[in-house]
Amino acid sequence: MRPSAGSFPYTDQNGTVWLAFMDFGERSRDRVVICVHGLTRNGRDFDRLATAMARDFRVIEVDVAGRGRSGWLADKASYGYPTYLKHMEALLAYRGLEQVDWIGTSMGGLIGMLMAAQPESPIRRLVLNDVGPFIPKAALDRIGERVGKDPRFRNHQEAADYFHEAYADFGIPDEVAWSDLTLHSTVRQENGTYALHYDPAIGDAFKEPMEDVDLWAVWDAIQCPVLVLRGADSDLLTRDTAREMTRRGPKADLVEFPGCGHAPALMSEDQIQVVHEWLLSFEEDEEDAAADAV
């Protein structure tokens, strides 16, 4: 089954913004996975993972506001987690989803953490890709050096060279994946050049002095099962933080991927298999429990 592209309008006091998504798998499936990308990325990063997992799940890739096919916010100060949480809740309501599994890379993982910590959260199981409840200032400063920039490229090759440098830590597995990333990360301008496929205003928050982010209280409120993925060379999710996440709060499972930093691309077969099998194991346990009860 080919994926279908969709979008819906979200209206608040700042006006209306259209929010985009890609839908993989059979809509009749009860098992639904939401995939949410990192700060400067878009939902198409999950294409390989979504295609593989669509054998067992319905998978929805989301473009957060200001990225990819989603609209840009009129009020630039609204780019932030309170807005993103409202948008995600609206997406679930629009698709009629009461319970979902959540895969979030970096920013997408933080959105998932905040949702999972809420009472009666719609998140059944949470996969956090290279993010946790403590983020060092140094990692935020590094991200801030690039986010919000608005470079122009004469052609896709120039864009590809830029992405090879910017995302060297992702561990992109092959040239086809690099090509797909370049294609989905750029948009053609009227003068024939290419720009990054996001609103540069998403970087405005990084113009202020950064401090460590401490969300341990949020982490301790999460009750659903959690899988933490960590790039072995990551500076955003330190090894100490990742190990502490296995000892407190929901006591997460932890898998480290060698050869990458922040954040693992989830494009290689071994990484996809880890996520797929972890989520699928719960479905198998539930089916066994149901069979035993009959």
Q: Which amino acid is at 126?
A: L
The 3-state DSSP class for residue 100 equals strand
Span 11-59, pLDDT tens digits: 998 899 999 999 998 877 889 999 999 999 999 999 999 999 999 999 9
Angle among Cα 150, 152, 153 to the nearest 5 degrees reads: 145
Nearest-angstrom CA–CA distance, 109 and 112: 5
Phi-psi group of 108: left, alpha or beta (phi > 0 → left; psi -120 to 50 → alpha; rest → beta) = alpha
The larger pLDDT score, comparing residue 284 to residue 56, is at 56
Instruction: Give the 3-state secondary structure of 125-155.
Output: EEEEECCCCEECHHHHHHHHCCCCCCCEECC
Q: What is the mean pLDDT of the chain?
A: 94
Q: Where are the alpha helices (DSSP H) in 97-249?
A: 107-116, 137-144, 156-166, 175-185, 216-221, 239-245
Tell how far CA 203 is from the center of its chain. 17
Span 240-274, pLDDT tens digits: 999 999 999 999 999 999 999 999 999 999 999 99
Whole-prediction pTM value? 0.94
Give the CATH number of the domain where residue 246 resides. 3.40.50.1820
Query: Domain total for the chain?
Result: 1
Residue among 118, 136, 116 at smallest CA distance from 252: 116
Residue 62 has pLDDT above 90, yes or no: yes
Q: Provide the domain limits for residue 241.
A: 4-293
Give me the mean pLDDT over the 45-74 stretch.
Answer: 97
Residue 5 has pLDDT above 80, yes or no: yes
Span 134-155, pLDDT tens digits: 999 999 999 999 898 899 999 9
CB 262 within 8 A of CB 105: no
Pairing state of beta strands 186-188 and 152-153? unpaired
The 3-state DSSP class for residue 283 equals helix
